[in-house]
Amino acid sequence: MKLINIEIPEAEGKRWICIEEKFISSEGRISDITTSQSNAAAPTIEFENAIAFPGLINSHDHLEFNLFPKLGNKKYSDYVKWGEDIHTKNKNTIDEIIKIPISLRIEYGVYKNLLNGVTTVVHHGKNILKNDYLIDVFSGYNYLHSVRLEKHWRAKLNLKKNQLPFVIHIGEGTNSKSYSEIDKLIRWNIFDREIIGVHGISMDPGQAKHFKALVWCPDSNDFLYGASAGIDELKEITTILFGTDSNVSADWNLWNQLRCARDTGLLSDKELFNAVTVNAAKVWKLNNTGTILPGSVADLVVAEKKSGNFINSFYALEPADILILIKGGKIILFDSRLSNQLNKLEAELHGFTKIKINGRIKFVKGRLDELSERIKPHSFQVQFPFEMLK
């Protein structure tokens, strides 16, 4: 398969991306990137005024919490205060959503990410997951919730014998307790385990050096605490990744969240782009992902070009602007405007759900329609950001 006439990061002019599916791993890989049509015969998909970039890597989500509305009644000093408040004032909403079977909630969380152009999401939770989702749900780490809410966290941190990193909410707040819990975690990391922190609002550079990476969730942090980590300083000490958090505290639209992050000016445009692509792939050890290079896994997004240059167009995107989403060389979402070309290619188009997002018709792999119908009877509060079409 060839994707023709698209712009890619850090390259002048338009490119042809060739995807080869015949690999031992069964994952489609990028076999070649050229500036002109090659002679080799292959099915083609031609684009007009489009950009391509690696499938995004969302480094922090709680997949089972994406059917919630945003829950927050004020700005909080830390995550403990937030939890206490919403479980009192928003108890009815929480009870209603929690009754939805967790398998349905997690599957919807996967689709939320897919519709935003994510091909790998790091799920922060202890829930048992399937291994056949349309995108990769990464769980190759040791789970800890937080210093104040995780029982026996000291023992778990020091007794685990595997070599996987630990992932933990840390410094999630603006008060002294949020700051001191970071020191407590560092002090009790007796065997110097690799730790990837999440949020780090109260983290300082001296503390940051003890973390392999920090996942920044600015939209969630601003909504709950009216504050953000000092990413402009922390990025000099540790690797910064980007996470959406779940809909309970952040926008479902990842692209709004990226614009929120960009507007802070705490990361450069390139640094923020790398936080959802190549740097995330390196930290999570996702080999051959996060880049568009020969030999890379073909996790790709092609979207409308909305501005004069690649980077401004990237940050102007919406889910509706995605033209095609490819995971491991397989098409898992496409825009209706590509239907004729895909039909000519005799592509496997059965098993897709037809939906509309902001007026644009999309086809998404799997039975999103059936999933939605199974969710609806459990809660009248659930609202989907898309419309089902016949």
Q: What is the mean pLDDT of residues 44-70?
A: 96
Query: Pairing mode, if any, of strands 352-357 and 360-365?
Result: antiparallel
For residue 364, being part of any structural domain is answered with no
For residue 327, being part of any structural domain is answered with yes
Most confident option among 11-25, 27-41, 371-385: 371-385
Domain extent at residue 267: 57-283
Same domain, yes or no, for 115 and 240?
A: yes
At residue 6, what are phi and psi to the nearest 5 degrees? -130, 155
- Could you give the number of structural domains in the chain? 2
E strands within 72-132?
Answer: 118-123
Kindly report the number of other CB atoms within 10 A of residue 20's CB atom. 16
212-242 pLDDT, tens digit each: 999 999 999 999 999 999 999 999 999 999 9
Q: Output the pLDDT for position 39.
A: 55
Q: Given pLDDT bands bounded at 50, 70 and 90, which one contains residue 21?
A: low
For residue 39, being part of any structural domain is answered with yes
Same domain, yes or no, for 230 and 206?
A: yes
Sheet containing 2-6: give its strands across. Answer: 29-34, 15-20, 2-6, 44-46
Statement: residue 24 has pLDDT above 60: no
CB of 176 within 8 A of CB of 192? no
Residue 330, domain CATH? 2.30.40.10
Statement: residue 285 has pLDDT above 70: yes
64-75 pLDDT, tens digit each: 999 999 999 999
Same domain, yes or no, for 76 and 30?
A: no
For residue 389, being part of any structural domain is answered with no
For residue 377, being part of any structural domain is answered with no
At residue 145, what are phi and psi to the nearest 5 degrees? -75, -60
CB of 17 within 8 A of CB of 59? no
Same domain, yes or no, for 19 and 111?
A: no
Angle at the Cα of 197 (from 196 to 198), degrees rounded to 5? Answer: 125
72-102 pLDDT, tens digit each: 999 999 999 999 999 999 999 999 999 999 9
Sign of the Cα torsion 293, 23, 116, 282 reads negative
Same domain, yes or no, for 39 and 142?
A: no
Same domain, yes or no, for 68 and 142?
A: yes
Q: Which of 6-10, 17-21, 252-256, 362-366 bottoms out in mean pLDDT, i.e. has the lowest?
A: 17-21
Task: Report which secondary-structure segment, H or E, holds 196.
Answer: strand 195-199
99-155 pLDDT, tens digit each: 999 999 999 999 999 999 999 999 999 877 888 899 999 999 999 999 999 999 999
Angle between helices 254-264 and 218-225 (to 10 degrees): 80
Same domain, yes or no, for 252 and 339?
A: no
Same domain, yes or no, for 27 and 128?
A: no
Q: Output the pLDDT for position 182.
A: 98
Q: Given pLDDT bands bounded at 50, 70 and 90, which one contains residue 12?
A: confident
Q: Output the pLDDT for position 10.
A: 81
Q: Given pLDDT bands bounded at 50, 70 and 90, which one contains residue 25?
A: low
Q: How many residues does the chain have?
A: 390
3-state secondary structure of 128: coil
Statement: residue 347 has pLDDT above 90: no
Average pLDDT, the chain: 94
Separation between Cα atoms, residue 217 and residue 250, nearest integer Å: 9
Residue 183, domain CATH? 3.20.20.140
283, 310, 330 - which closes a domain = 283
| Residues near 274 by beta carbon (within 8 Å), at least 6 away in sequence | none
For residue 362, being part of any structural domain is answered with no
Buried b (16+ CB within 10 A) or exposed e, 79-103: bbbbeeebeeebeebeebbeebeee
Same domain, yes or no, for 243 and 307?
A: no
Q: Quote the tokens at residue 3.
A: 């994707």
Output the DSSP codes for 233-300: HHTTTSEEEE----TTTS-S-HHHHHHHHHHHTSS-HHHHHHHTTHHHHHHTT-TT-SS-STTSB--E
236, 266, 283 - which closes a domain = 283
Same domain, yes or no, for 92 and 137?
A: yes
Query: Quick one: CA torsion of 114, 115, 118, 124, rounded to 10 degrees?
Result: -60
Angle between helices 79-89 and 91-98 (to 10 degrees): 90
Same domain, yes or no, for 26 and 167?
A: no
For residue 366, being part of any structural domain is answered with no
For residue 176, being part of any structural domain is answered with yes
Same domain, yes or no, for 88 and 131?
A: yes
